[in-house]
A and B are shown apart, each in its own frame.
Chain A
Amino acid sequence: MKKFWCSLLACSIALSCALFGCGTEQKGSGEKPIKVGLLYSLSGVTSVSEKQLYNGTKLAIDEINQNGGINGRKIETVFADYASDPARAADKARKLILDDKVVAIVGTCSSSARKAVKPVVESNHSLLVYPQSYEGQEQSKNIVYVGCIPNQQAEVFVDWLVKNVGKKFFLIGCDFVYPRVENKLAQTYLAKNGGSVVGEEYVPYGSTDFSSVLNKIKTSNPDVIYTSLTGDSNVAFYKQYSAYGLKATVASLTTNETVLKAIGPAAAKESFICVDYFKNIKNTINEKFVKKYAETIKDGTEPSYAVMGGYNGGLFLGEALKKAKNPDQTQDVIDAFGGLTIDSPSGKISIDASNHHASLYCRIGKVDDKGEINVIYQSDQTIAPKP
């Protein structure tokens, strides 16, 4: 028996040597692929958003590889699933950097996961490309932030709502950092442009019962219900809002095309959403992208700002790798990010050299009675990030 195991071991070593040998020879130039880590949760509570981020990043990297890779070298992705657990995100990031020796990581979704990974990439001199919109107020030389931040989203949105919908705002959100910061900022914006806050409510994370909140909204009679609810709470809120037949207009910072399918057109019609990207943007790059997404990704998700965050993150990283003096040196890649510009489905966007956040367009969409988001406002040019 022992002899059998020995021979099996010998065979497998021989086989793997042979395979490895062939693998490197076939590349022709003899160069090994560039390793990039993807750190997303495909299970757990934040997996709804992260599946979309993941789809976006994967599409971007596949595209780069099909178009000749990074100066002839392919990008090889190493995927790690942290199951929506920030502590595990930090562990997996450490593993990606130290064991898999990736040059950069694209990933994480919630601010708590990013904040858990931040010290890991900083102490190991690695790089995290963060694809999600977030509340701002953070900078790190080891993180590039690709999603929109309040001065590119909320500030424009509040201003637009006061001018076009009404002055009285009711603020709601789940009880964690992001909605609290967004609502605090909304109050400062409202104080500047003559609006007022008639109510502010938080529900426990994941709560799906809005009866008391909806009655408070009814009593305070606002023009705008300004929400940054996420996940199951977001879907349940729209549906109960429509069942209670309230008049105020819903304005959301977090709803997207995928969530909208679950809410349904009856509950979401006439509401507003403000983000940097919508599926229905009219330009040739986006039309191609939407078509490709429908053909390749068949998991029920739609192209959304989350998908686009992941996609832009992948594209930016690809460009930075191309521009870097040595794409295997993380520091060179980080240096290459400053001022980088890409032609993305969301427009010609770039990375600000001073704070490593993206300059993005701001768009406002209105949901019609078929559940489609029509873009009714777009900033004239990209808005520079002020984290």
Chain B
Amino acid sequence: MDSFFALLLNGLNSSALILVAALGMVVICGLMNVINLAHGELIMIGAYTAFCVTQKAGLSFALALPAAFAAAAAAGAVLEILVIRRLTGKPAETMLATFGISVVLQQTVNLIFGAQSQYVAIPLEGNFSLGHVVVPFYNIFTILFVAAVLAGTVVFLKKTRFGRRVRAVTQNRSMAECLGVNSARVDTLTFAFGSGLAGLAGALAAPVKSVSPFMGGPYLVYSFLTSVVGGVASFFGTTVGSLLVGESSALLGGLSNDVIANILVFLIIIAIIRFKPEGLFAKERR
């Protein structure tokens, strides 16, 4: 029973990291209908920002989180203005272009920092035990922080003026434009916001994972799967999706091993997509 509880808690931690990576994907893919294959590299930019802030500049990790958001958001804004905007309505071209950008970003970072992994210290050392179960403090911090980010994102999009504009543009672009919404600016800011969330995921993962130019790949796969399973435009769905992916990897990994867990999780996802191609919690589209 103890070990089951440990697995659940661990799963919650993996779910939290997957969720924050996927949130950015939901904003970009769900609201803007852009499949961004450079999402993993935006996460990498966040992780490298955390590295620069904490190790190069010697500042606290608390500053690294907003800095990572800002750096990735800036990169996202540039990306949107230079590339994505010019390929509106061409999904295949957008995918190719963003894939190209992901390679460019990887190799640029490789040239600047080298291919080796970089060191980011764990900001919260230590752990506590519940019976046999060990829980690192940093895991608890991750879970709480991600919950706050999720709440913040939902409030931001549902309650603020900018959020309403974003939703207006997604639901009916021409009508929103008629009513005086600058849709181009909204697109840029939405993309930047989604990218910023990706950067945040990178900074959160940096202390306990590896920071390297090629770290983005697995995150891209997981955030894509999570948002597809949950229903690409639904935050609630993405939360459930990330719990499903994170918990099932942790439980199956704990009961069998990580290689088998990997296979089973993907099989489960394929089954879900087969029977609910719109995702578990798809919104009705008008």
Contact = CB atoms under 8 A, between A and B. Distances in A.
Given A206-B217, A243-B122, A43 B210 contact: no
B116 A51 contact: yes
Nearest to A213: B258
Interface stretch (A131-139, A260-268, A346-354): A260-268
Contact of A239 (B3, B139, B208): B208
A239 B139 CA distance: 13
A207 B258 contact: yes
B101 interface: no
A279 to B, nearest CB: 15
Contacts of B99: none
Contact of A47 (B110, B125, B210, B215): B110
A243 B119 contact: no
B127 A245 contact: yes
A48 B259 contact: no
Contact of A235 (B115, B133, B136, B210): B210
Contacts of A214: 134
Given A218-B132, A236-B208, A300 B259 contact: no
B49 interface: no
Nearest to B205: A208
Contacts, number: 134
Nearest to B128: A245
Nearest to B214: A45
A235 B134 contact: no
Contact of A209 (B14, B114, B132, B212): B14
Contact of B7 (A48, A203, A215, A258): A215
Given A206-B217, A242-B122, A201 B116 contact: no
Contact of A208 (B6, B139, B218): B218
Interface string B210-247: 11101101100000000000000000000000000000
Contacts of A216: 254
Contacts of A266: 121-122, 125
B60 interface: no
B14 A235 contact: no
A202 B257 contact: yes
A219 interface: yes
Contacts of A264: 119, 121
A245 B124 CA distance: 12
B262 interface: yes
A201 B257 contact: yes
Contact of A206 (B6, B218, B253): B218
Interface in B238-270: 249-250, 253-254, 257-259, 261-262
A206 B139 CA distance: 21
Given A212-B254, A264-B119, A243 B113 contact: no
A282 B107 CA distance: 37
Interface in B131-150: 132-134, 136, 138-139
A197 to B, nearest CB: 15
A40 B92 CA distance: 33
Contact of B3 (A209, A213, A219): A219
A236 B210 contact: yes
Contacts of A239: 122, 207-209
Contacts of B116: 48, 51, 258-259, 261-262, 300-301
Query: Taking each of B11, B115, B254, B257, which has the highest tally of chain A beta carbons within 10 Å of its own beta carbon?
Result: B115
A232 B119 contact: no
Contacts of B207: 239
Interface string A45-69: 1011001000000000000000000
B115 A203 contact: no
Contact of A201 (B119, B127, B214, B258): B258
A178 to B, nearest CB: 15
A379 interface: no
A244 B136 contact: yes
Given A209-B249, A211-B10, A301-B114, A245 B136 contact: yes
B122 A244 contact: no
A206 B217 CA distance: 9
A208 B210 contact: yes
Contact of A202 (B10, B119, B211, B259): B259
Query: Taking each of B207, B208, B211, which has the highest tally of chain A beta carbons within 10 Å of its own beta carbon?
Result: B208
Nearest to B136: A243
Given A201-B258, A211-B10, A215-B10, A262 B210 contact: yes
A231 B213 CA distance: 12
B117 A212 contact: no
Q: Which 7 A-B pairs have the closest CB atoms?
A: A262-B117, A211-B10, A212-B253, A232-B210, A235-B210, A243-B136, A47-B115
Interface of B: 3, 6-7, 10-11, 13-14, 106-107, 110, 113-119, 121-122, 125-127, 132-134, 136, 138-139, 205, 207-212, 214-215, 217-218, 249-250, 253-254, 257-259, 261-262
8 contacts: A47-B110, A207-B218, A211-B253, A215-B134, A232-B209, A261-B116, A266-B121, A266-B125
